[in-house]
Structure 1
C-alpha cells in the first residue's frame, strides 16, 4: 500500500507546487502590511491584527517555499500540477486572507470570515457585513485589496494558465493578446502579463484621481478604484453607490465598462488603436447587449416611476453595467422595478463580461460561439456532408474549442440547478436560492430574494455559506479547473 501511495504521489511535482503555494502566501502577507498605514492614519486598533496576520502568512509561506526547495523539483509544470496550483492556491489565499478579520474580531466566525475573503479574492462582492462603515479602516482596505489582488490574478490566469489547461474561450483571448501566438506562448507570457498589469494598475490610478475630483476622499476613492477595476464591487459605504453623486456614478460606470472589457483591448486603447477595438466581434456584442438592456430597462423605469428621464436611465445603465460586468455595485433596488426590468437584470447575471477581463460569469465569447454553432447546426442538417466551421472575428474556431465551450455552458447550468437543489434542501426559499446560486457562480454580488441589492448574506446558515463559497471559487476558476480535481481519472497515474 505504501509503495502504491508513493507511486501515485510521484505523479505530481510536489516540490514545485509547495514552492508556488508558499510564494502566493508570502505575497498575501506582504499585501497585508500595505494596509497598516491606513490603520495608523485613522487611529484604528486593527493594526495589530493585520501585523499578526502578515507575519503568520509570511512565515507559513516561507516554510512552504523551504519545503519545496528541500524536496527538490523540476521547473516544468505539467497540467495536473497546474490544476492543483490554481485551485489550491485560491483556496489557501482565502484561508490566510481571513486571518485579519478573525484576529481583529471584525468577523469572529471562521465561516463568515472565509466567506467574506473568498468573496473578495473571487471578486464576487457578496458580503456578510451589516455595518461596513463601522469596520476598521485598515481591515476595510484589506477587504478591497483582496478584490484587486483577485482581479490581477485573473489576468495572470487568462494569459498564462487557463489556455495551458485547455479552458475553452480563454484560448481565444490568447490568440488576441499582444505579443502572443500559440507557437510562442511560453516565452511571451511574462512580457504580456507585464503589459496587462501596467494597464490594470494605470486604470486604477486614473480612476482614483477622477473619483477624488468628484469630492471623494483619497481613502474612499482608492478603495472604490481597487474594487471597480477588479469588478468586485466591495464599497466602503453601507448603501454602496446609491447615495453617490451622478458624476461619481458615471465615473464608476465608465470604469466598470473598461474592467469588463478584454484587457488586450484596454491596452489597444492606451495605444489609440481604436479600429482594432471596434473590429473585435466580442466587444461589439458586449456594447450592444449593454445598450439594448439599458434602453429597455430605462424606458420601463421612466414610465413606471416618477424618477425622471435622466435618473431612470442612469440607474438603468449603472445596474446593467454593474451586473453584466459582475461588479455588483448597487445604485438602486432593481427588485423593486417592474417585473420585466428585474427579469432582464436576472438574465444579465448569466452573460458575464469579455474573455480576458476581470469580469466573471459565462463570458460573451462563449454565448457567441454557442449561438453561432446552434444556427450552423440547422444549416448542417440541410448539407450533412459540408464542413461549416464556426467563425469568430472572421477566423474559423477549432472544433475542440467549440466542444469545450458547449461542455462549459452545459456544466454551468447543471451546477446552477444542483446548487439550487442543495440550498433548497438546506432550508433556503426558492427565490433566494435562485439569486444566491446565480450571483455566487457568476461572481456578481447582489442577487434576488433575501440576498437582493438592499440585503446581504449574513442571515444564511453556515452550511449554505460554505456551499456558496465553493460556488464562488468554482465560477471564478472557470469550472473545469476545479471540477477535474474531483474526478477519479485526475488521480489515476495514467
Structure 2
C-alpha cells in the first residue's frame, strides 16, 4: 500500500511510465547500479537503532514496568539484521557515493528504520498490529507526531521513552539531511545552501559525519536546557526528559493523551520558546558558537520566520480575546503556544482550537503548510521557498512593467539562478499535486473531506494533528482504517524527504544508472 501510494502520485505526474520502453535489460541494470555502499550505511544505522533500544529497556527495568524483555528481543533482532546487511555490503563500502546511491540511501534510511523501530510496539505492552506499529514508528522518526495509541497516561515508561527517543534521533537526522544530502541532490531548491568545496558526491559521507559532529553538541545542549526548564516548571524528571527530546525535534509526541493541555502556563511558554529555537537553522548556532554572531541576526530566513510568527500570534490573540475569552494573557498564551506548535510542525496542543471558530481553523491549516527554516528540525514547505517564490513573482511583475529591463530574483541580496527557481516551482507544484492525490486516495478509503484533506496535509507537511473531531487536536489516528494509515505513512515518508528524493526513484531514468 505504501509503494502503491507513491506510485499513484507519480502516475499523476506522468513521470513513471514515460521511459519504460527504453529501459535496458534487467541484468544490465543490475551491473550498472551497485547499492551496496548505501546498504552498508543503512545496515550500520540499523545496528545503532538496535543498540538505542537498550536505553528504553533500562528505563523499563528502573520503573519496573515488566516489559524489558520486549526491548531486549527487539534490540537483538534489529542488531542482528543490521549487522547482516552491513556485512553483506561491507566489501563495497570504500569510496564515495554516486547520485543514485545517495538517493537510495536517503530514502532507504527513512523506510528501513521505521520497520525496525516498530518492533517494541509489536512485542511490548501495546501489542500493536504491524500497521499501527509502523505508523507510530514512521511518525516518530519523521518527527510528524501523529499517534495511533490511546492511554498514554498509563503506558509503560519504556515505550513512552522510545517514542521520544525516536523523534529525537529523527530530528538530528533531519538536520544532517537538510544540510548535506538535499543540497547535493538539488531537491526543491535546496542547492542554494550547498557549501563550496563539497560539490562532489564522493565527499558526502565525510561531510555528513563532520556536520553531525558539529551540530550534536548544539542539539544536545538545547535538549538539556529545555529539560531543565521543564523540570523547573514542575514537570517530573521523566516527563521533562521526553518532552525536551520531542520539543527540540519539533516532533510533538507527548506523554499524555491530552498533550500539553494540563501542564501549566510556565510549561507552555517554555515549550513555545524552544520550539522557536529548534525552528532556526542549526548552522547559525554552529557559527554563533564559533564566535560569529552576525549571521544569526542577518539571516533573511530567520527574519521572515519571525515576522510570520508575529503576524500569526497577533491575529490569533486578537481573535481569541474578542470572540473566545476576555483574558488577555490567556488568549496570548494559547495563541502563542498553538500557533508556534503548528507553524513549526511540532504538533503539541494546549487547547482544542477546533472550538475557536472558522477563522483560526483556517489559519492553523495554512500555517502548517509553511514550516520553519531550512536546516532546522522543522518540516513542511519551509520559509525560504516562499521567499524565493515571492522574489520570482516580483521579478516577473517588473519584467511586465519594463520588458526591456533585466530583472533576476534575489535571495539575501544575491541573484538566484534559474536552476534554483525552477526547482522551487517544481516543488510547489509537486507538493500541491501530491496533496490533492493523497486527499483523494484517503477519501476513497471512506474518510470525510475534512479528515482526508487535513490528514493529507498533516502527513505531507509532517505536522501531526489534522482537523476535525477524529484527527484534530483532541483526537488521534487510532480510528482510521488500515488503508488510510498506510497512505498516511507513505505521505509522512514522502513529505519528510521533500518529495523529489522519493519520487525520482520511481522514474526509469534513475534505474538506468
Task: Give the TM bin, normalised by the shorter chain.
Answer: over 0.9
1:115–1:469 CA contact under 8 A, matched in 2: yes
Aligned-pair distance for 1:351? 0.4
Say whether residues 1:366 and 2:385 are aligned partners: yes
Q: Residues 298 and 272 of structure 1: is their aligned pair in 2 closer, same or farther, counting only changes over 3 Å?
A: farther
Of 372, 378, 384, 1:353 maps to 372
Instruction: Find 1:430's aligned residue among 449, 452, 465.
Output: 449
TM-score under structure 1 normalisation?
0.95
Taking a change above 3 Å as real, the CA distance of residues 225 and 395 of structure 1, as seen in their structure-2 partners, is same
Query: Is the counterpart of residue 101 in structure 1 residue 132 in structure 2?
Result: no
Q: Please show how residues 150-299 of structure 1 align to structure 2 within 5 Å.
A: 150-175=170-195, 189-270=208-289, 273-299=292-318
Offset from partner CA, 1:40-62 (integer Å, 9 cap, x none): 11101221011110111110011
2:52 maps to which of 31, 36, 42: 31
Partner Cα separation in structure 2 for residue 108 and residue 341 of structure 1:
35
Matched, 1:55 2:67: no
Q: In the TM superposition, what are the counterparts of 1:47-86 in structure 2 within 5 Å?
A: 47-70=68-91, 72-86=92-106
CA distance in 1: counterparts of 2:359 and 2:73, whole angstroms: 50
Question: Are the structure 2 counterparts of residues 188 and 466 from structure 1 closer, same or farther at C-alpha, using a change threshold of 3 Å?
Answer: closer
| Matches of 2:480 and 2:436, distance apart in 1 | 19
Q: Distance in 1 between matches of 2:208 and 2:75?
A: 29
Identify unmatched segments of 5+ residues in structure 1: none
CA distances 1:173-223 after superposition (whole Å, capped 9, x unpaired): 345xxxx65569756553333111211111011111111111111111110
- Deviation of 1:385 after TM superposition, in Å, equals 4.5
The 8 Å contact of residues 369 and 392 in structure 1, kept in 2 or not, is answered as yes
1:104-130 Cα shifts (integer Å, max 9, x gaps): 141421100000000000000000111
Could you list the runs of 5+ residues in structure 2 that have no partner in the other structure?
Answer: 1-23
2:39 corresponds to 1:18: yes
- Answering whether residue 159 of structure 2 is matched by residue 135 of structure 1, we say no
The Cα shift of 1:273 comes to: 4.3
Secondary structure at the counterpart of residue 10 of structure 1: helix
The structure-2 alpha-carbon separation of the partners of 1:301 and 1:85, relative to structure 1 and needing over 3 Å to count, comes to: same
My pick for the range that moved more, 58-67 or 268-277, is 268-277
Counterpart in the other structure of 2:65: 44
d(CA) in 1 for partners of 2:498, 2:326: 39
Partner of 1:444: 463
Bigger relative contact order, structure 1 or 2 (CA pairs below 8 A, ≥6 apart): 2
CA RMSD of aligned residues (A): 1.7
* 1:386-405 map, 5 Å: 386-405=405-424
Could you tell me whether the CA contact under 8 Å between 2:316 and 2:335 is conserved in 1? yes
Q: Deviations over 1:364-404 (max 9, x none)?
A: 00011011101211111233453322111111112111110
CA shift in 2, pair 1:299/1:409, >3 Å: same
Deviations 1:120-168 (A, max 9, x none): 0000000011111121111110111110111111111112211111113
Q: 2-side partners of 1:215 and 1:270: how far apart?
A: 30
Aligned mates of 2:79, 2:90 — CA distance in 1: 16
The match for 2:436 among 417, 424, 448 is 417
Q: Partners of 2:365 and 2:380 in 1: how far apart?
A: 12
Matched, 1:123 2:143: yes
Q: State how far apart, in whole Å, the 2-side matches of 1:182 and 1:374 are.
A: 31
